[in-house]
Amino acid sequence: MSEFAELVLEDAKDRMDKAIAHSRTEFASVRSGRASPQLVERLQVEAYGVEVRLIEVASVSVPEARQLIVTPHDPANLEAVERAIRLSDLGISPSNDGRSLRLNFPPLTEERRKDLVRMVKKMAEDGRISIRNIRRDARKELEGADDLSEDEVSRAEKDLDKLTQQSEAAVDGALADKEDELLEV
């Protein structure tokens, strides 16, 4: 295979790996029955006059399976962190003890679990679409190359299709794991 085709395939693989990692990150941000620091780490908090991620101004610990404790590094940011959590789509009201915030996650109802599974399936489909878009872009690059023979383009496209199938399978595997986690009672 030509050097150009290898570069295109390598670039496509890197981009597909990033799409898979993004999908997994999205899945982690969906609340299951258990408390997880990823649920709040990416929340935006207004501290010191600028928007920053919660993880930059507070530490998050998991003392129990259904509880998070968020402790700001600077006690002056406690109200800003509490406001960010209240305004988020978590549906959780933090209890404030003056130094830290305690988040208690109630068990999910069956209906809410099914809603979350639908939401995660949509995220997975977005990941698969992203992977297919990467494949399309790589195909255009291969077909537009003047120095590749038809056989080299055909071989590179077959490798690209294998790579696409593997990447979609990785997203599907992560989806299946998250579904199992969400439906676990």
Confidence of residue 34 (pLDDT cuts 50, 70, 90): confident
Would you call 62 helix, strand, or coil by DSSP?
strand
Could you please state the CATH topology (level 3) that the domain comprising 38-104 is classified under: Gyrase A; domain 2 (3.30.1360)
Write the CB contacts of 131 (distance below 8 Å, at least 6 apart in sequence).
Answer: 16, 19, 20, 164, 167, 168, 171
Q: How far apart are CA 85 and CA 61, in angstroms?
A: 15
Average pLDDT over residues 108-112: 82
DSSP designation for 49: T
Query: What local confidence, expressed as pLDDT, does residue 13 receive?
Result: 95
Paired residues of 51 in beta bridges: 46
Q: Where are the domains of the chain?
A: 3-29+109-183, 38-104
Average pLDDT over residues 73-100: 88
Confidence of residue 121 (pLDDT cuts 50, 70, 90): very high
- Flag whether pLDDT at 153 surpasses 80: yes
Q: How far apart are CA 35 and CA 146, in angstroms?
A: 54
Query: What local confidence, expressed as pLDDT, does residue 185 receive?
Result: 64
Paired residues of 72 in beta bridges: 58
- pTM for the model stands at 0.71
Confidence of residue 173 (pLDDT cuts 50, 70, 90): very high
- For the chain, the average pLDDT equals 89
- Flag whether pLDDT at 42 surpasses 70: yes
Q: Please say whether the structural domain 3-29+109-183 has been given the CATH code 1.10.132.20.
A: yes
Residue among 137, 135, 142 nearest 2 (CA): 142
More confident residue, 30 or 137: 137
